[in-house]
C-alpha cells in the first residue's frame, strides 16, 4: 500500500517539476481615469479609482491570494509583508493615488481576526477600517515619469535630460511633423466648435494633438453635454486619437535618436535592478510596482521593438494599462533550493486597460519570437538600452552641471570651477539628485538583501524602513 503510494507520488514528481514557479514580478502601471490635462490640477476620478482597484484585485488573484493562479514563491497572502513589496510613483497626485488604490485591491482589509493584535496587558486592538493595510508608496522622480507628470502637457520636459529634450524638440522641426501639421489643418478646424471653449483658432491644430484629444476623450466620459457634439462622429474621434498617438509616439521615440526614449531606458534599468534583486535575495523581495505616464510605455515599447509585433504599440495605452515582467522557472524551488540564473526566465505581458477587463497577454520582446526569454538573454537585451547609473545618464544626456558636474569627470576641464553646492535650487539639480538618490536606494536595498540573507527574518522590517528612505527624493522633487 505504502509502496504504491510512493510509486504514485514518484510518477507525479516530474509533473510537479515541470510546473512553472513565479519567483517575482515587476509591474509598470498607468494611472486610472482622470480629469483633463487641460485643467490643472488633474485628479483621479472615482472611475479611475475603480479601475486601479480592480487591477490590484486582478493581480492579487494571479500572484498573491492563497488560491492564486500563479502564486509568487514565498509571498505573504493576506497580511502584507512590506519587505516583499517595492511600490513607487512620482510626486504626482494622480499617480500616487492610483498606486494607493491599486494596493487596496492587492492587499485588501483583512478583517477582525487577522487585523487584531494583543497587547502586553491582554487588551486586543483592532486595526481601523476593518483591518485596512498600510503600504508605503515611495516617491521617486526618475526620468521614467517625472514629478507632476499628469499636470504636464509635454512629458519629456520632466526628464531633465538635455539631449532627450533637444531630440524631442527636434520633432517639431522634422519633415514628418511639418507634413502632418499642414495636412491636418482643415480637420482640426472642423472640430473647433467642440473645443473652442479651451482652444483658440490658432491653437487648434496638430501641434496640440494630445491636448485636444485629451479634452474630447475626457469630456466624452464625463460631460453630460458637449457643444456641437454632432461633429464628434466615431471616425472623427478615432482620427483625433490616431493623430495624438502619432504625435506622442514621435516625441517619445525615434529609432535614429535613442536618447529621445530616455524614459524607457531608465525604466529598463529599474526593471533589471528589481528583478535582479529578487534573484540575488532568493525571492525575499518579490514585487516591484511603479506607476508612471503613457510616454514611458511608448519609449519602452519603441526600445524593446514591440512595434515589430504590432502597430498597436505605437498607440497611447489606455488608462490603467499595465506591463508585467514575470520572473519564472521550471526548476524546483524550495526554501533550501533556489534556481540558478540559467534556470530562470522572463515573460513579458501587457494589458491595454485595467486587467480586470482586458486580458494580460504575453508578447515577444526585442524582435524575438519567444515570449519567455532566458534571464541572461533578457538582461543582455535590456542592457543594450538601459541607463542605470548616474555617470552613464550624464554622459548620454550631455548634462554636465549640477550632480552631473561630479559624475562626468572631464580630464581637460578646470576641476575647480565645476563644483557647486548640491543643495542649490533649480529643477535640473533636483531631478539629477533624485536619480542619484535612486541609485543609492538600489544599493541600500541590495546591501539590505544581503543582510537579510545572513541575519534571517527579523531584519526584514528594518529593510522596510530603509526602503522608504526616499524622503530625500521627495524633498528634492518638492523643490522642482
Find the binding residues for ligand NAG in span 209-238 (CB under 6 A).
215, 219, 223, 226-227
Q: Closest approach of Cβ 414 to ligand NAG, in Å? A: 19
Task: Please tell me whether residue 72 adopts helix, strand or coil conformation.
Answer: strand
The reply on whether position 372 binds ligand NAG by CB under 6 A is yes
Q: Is 47 in the site for ligand NAG (CB under 6 A)?
A: no
Q: Which 236-295 positions form the footprint of ligand NAG (CB under 6 A)?
A: 245, 250, 254, 256-257, 272, 276, 280
Q: Least distance to ligand NAG from the beta carbon of 152, Å?
A: 14
User: Contacting ligand NAG (CB under 6 A), which of 156, 352, 355, 408?
Assistant: 352
**β-pairing verdict for 21-30 and 85-89:** unpaired
Using CB under 6 A as the binding rule, whether residue 68 contacts ligand NAG is answered as yes
Which of 363, 283, 285 shows the shortest CA–CA distance to 322? Answer: 363
Give the nearest distance from C-beta 20 to ligand NAG in angstroms.
5
**Chain Cα centroid distance, residue 211:** 22
Q: Which residues contact 423 (CB under 8 A, 6 or more apart)?
A: none
The verdict on 131 binding ligand NAG (CB under 6 A) reads: no
Q: Which of 18, 129, 414, 424 binds ligand NAG (CB under 6 A)?
A: 18
Q: How far is residue 157's CA from residue 166's CA, in Å, rounded to a whole number?
A: 10
Q: What whole-number distance in Å separates Cα of residue 307 and Cα of residue 162? A: 26
For position 439 contacting ligand NAG by CB under 6 A, the verdict is no
CA dihedral 389, 75, 320, 69 (to 10 degrees): 130
345 contacts ligand NAG (rule: CB under 6 A): yes
Q: Greatest CA separation found in the chain?
A: 86
The DSSP letter of residue 61 is I
Report helix, strand and coil shares of the chain as percent, to nearest 5: 55, 10, 35
Determine, following the binding rule CB under 6 A, whether residue 147 of this chain makes contact with ligand NAG.
Answer: no
Q: Does 318 bind ligand NAG (CB under 6 A)?
A: yes
Rounded to the nearest 10 degrees, what angle do helices 390-397 and 262-280 cross at? Answer: 170
Cell of 54: 480592480
Q: Any contact of residue 329 with ligand NAG (CB under 6 A)?
A: yes
Smallest gap from residue 41 Cβ to ligand NAG (A) = 14
**Which residue in the set 4, 10, 67, 419 belongs to the binding site for ligand NAG (CB under 6 A)?**
67
The whole-angstrom separation of Cα 339 and Cα 22 is 11
Establish if 70 lies at the interface with ligand NAG (CB under 6 A).
no
CA distances from 410 to 70, 401, 419 (A): 50, 12, 13
61 lies in the site for ligand NAG, by CB under 6 A: yes
Give the containing element (helix H, strand E) for 100.
helix 93-106
CB of 193 to ligand NAG, least distance (A): 4
User: Measured in Å, how far apart are the chain's first and last C-alpha atoms?
Assistant: 73
For ligand NAG (CB under 6 A), the number of binding residues is 61
Of 422, 446, 451, 469, the residue at the interface with ligand NAG (CB under 6 A) is 446
Of 137 and 248, the one with the shorter C-beta distance to ligand NAG is 248
Rounded least distance, CB 176 to ligand NAG, Å: 4
Q: Smallest gap, in angstroms, from Cβ of residue 119 to ligand NAG?
A: 5
Closest approach of ligand NAG to the CB of residue 259, in Å: 10
Give the whole-angstrom CA distance, residue 143 versus residue 392.
13
The DSSP result for 11-57, as a single string, is HHHHHHHHS-EEEEEEEEEE--SB--TTSSSP-B-HHHHHHHHHHHH
Of positions 11, 123, 230, 423, contacts ligand NAG by CB under 6 A: 123
Positions that interact with ligand NAG (CB under 6 A): 18, 20, 39, 61, 65, 67-69, 119, 121, 123, 160, 162, 171, 174, 176, 182, 185, 193-198, 215, 219, 223, 226-227, 245, 250, 254, 256-257, 272, 276, 280, 309-310, 312-313, 315, 317-318, 328-330, 345, 352, 372, 379, 399, 401-402, 404, 427-429, 431-432, 446
Amino acid at each position: 500500500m505504502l509502496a504504491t503510494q510512493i510509486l504514485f507520488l514518484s510518477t507525479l514528481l516530474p509533473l510537479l517539476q515541470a510546473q512553472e514557479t513565479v519567483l517575482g514580478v515587476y509591474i509598470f502601471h498607468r494611472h486610472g481615469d482622470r480629469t483633463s490635462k487641460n485643467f490643472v490640477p488633474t485628479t483621479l476620478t472615482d472611475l479611475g479609482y475603480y479601475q486601479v482597484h480592480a487591477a490590484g484585485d486582478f493581480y492579487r488573484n494571479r500572484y498573491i491570494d492563497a488560491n492564486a493562479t500563479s502564486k509568487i514563491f514565498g509571498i505573504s497572502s493576506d497580511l502584507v509583508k512590506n519587505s516583499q513589496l517595492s511600490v513607487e510613483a512620482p510626486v504626482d497626485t494622480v499617480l500616487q493615488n492610483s498606486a494607493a488604490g491599486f494596493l487596496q485591491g492587492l492587499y485588501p482589509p483583512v478583517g477582525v481576526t487577522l487585523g487584531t493584535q494583543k497587547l502586553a496587558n491582554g487588551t486586543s486592538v483592532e486595526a481601523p477600517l476593518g483591518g485596512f493595510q498600510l503600504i508605503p508608496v515611495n516617491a521617486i522622480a526618475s526620468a521614467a515619469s517625472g514629478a507632476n507628470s499628469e499636470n504636464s502637457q509635454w512629458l519629456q520636459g520632466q526628464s531633465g535630460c538635455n539631449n532627450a529634450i533637444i531630440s524631442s524638440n527636434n520633432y517639431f522641426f522634422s519633415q514628418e511633423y511639418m507634413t502632418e501639421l499642414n495636412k491636418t489643418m482643415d480637420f482640426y478646424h472642423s472640430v473647433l466648435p467642440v473645443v473652442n471653449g479651451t482652444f483658440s483658432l490658432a491653437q487648434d491644430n496638430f501641434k496640440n494633438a494630445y491636448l485636444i484629444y485629451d479634452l474630447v476623450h475626457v469630456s466624452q466620459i464625463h460631460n453630460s453635454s458637449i457643444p456641437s457634439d454632432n461633429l464628434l462622429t466615431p471616425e472623427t474621434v478615432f482620427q483625433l486619437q490616431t493623430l495624438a498617438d502619432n504625435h506622442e509616439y514621435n516625441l517619445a521615440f525615434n529609432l535614429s535618436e535613442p536618447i529621445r526614449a530616455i524614459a524607457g531606458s531608465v525604466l529598463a534599468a529599474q526593471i533589471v535592478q528589481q528583478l535582479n534583486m529578487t534573484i540575488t535575495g532568493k525571492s525575499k523581495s518579490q514585487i516591484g510596482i511603479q506607476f508612471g505616464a503613457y510616454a514611458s510605455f511608448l519609449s519602452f515599447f519603441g526600445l524593446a521593438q514591440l512595434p515589430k509585433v504590432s502597430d498597436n504599440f505605437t498607440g497611447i495605452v489606455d488608462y490603467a494599462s499595465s506591463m508585467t515582467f514575470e520572473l519564472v522557472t521550471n526548476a524546483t524551488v524550495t526554501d533550501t533550493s533556489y534556481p540558478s540564473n540559467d534556470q530562470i526566465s522572463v515573460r513579458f505581458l501587457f494589458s491595454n486597460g485595467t486587467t480586470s477587463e482586458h486580458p494580460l497577454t504575453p508578447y515577444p520582446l526585442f524582435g524575438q519570437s519567444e515570449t519567455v526569454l532566458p534571464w541572461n538573454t533578457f538582461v543582455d537585451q535590456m542592457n543594450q538600452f538601459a541607463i542605470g547609473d548616474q555617470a552613464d545618464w550624464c554622459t548620454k544626456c550631455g548634462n554636465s552641471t549640477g550632480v552631473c558636474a561630479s559624475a562626468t569627470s572631464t580630464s581637460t576641464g578646470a576641476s575647480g570651477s565645476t563644483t557647486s553646492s548640491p543643495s542649490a535650487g533649480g529643477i535640473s539639480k533636483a531631478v539629477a539628485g533624485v536619480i542619484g538618490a535612486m541609485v543609492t536606494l538600489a544599493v541600500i536595498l541590495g546591501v539590505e538583501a544581503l543582510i537579510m540573507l545572513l541575519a534571517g527574518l527579523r531584519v526584514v522590517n528594518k529593510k522596510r524602513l530603509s526602503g522608504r528612505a526616499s524622503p530625500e527624493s521627495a524633498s528634492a522633487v518638492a523643490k522642482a
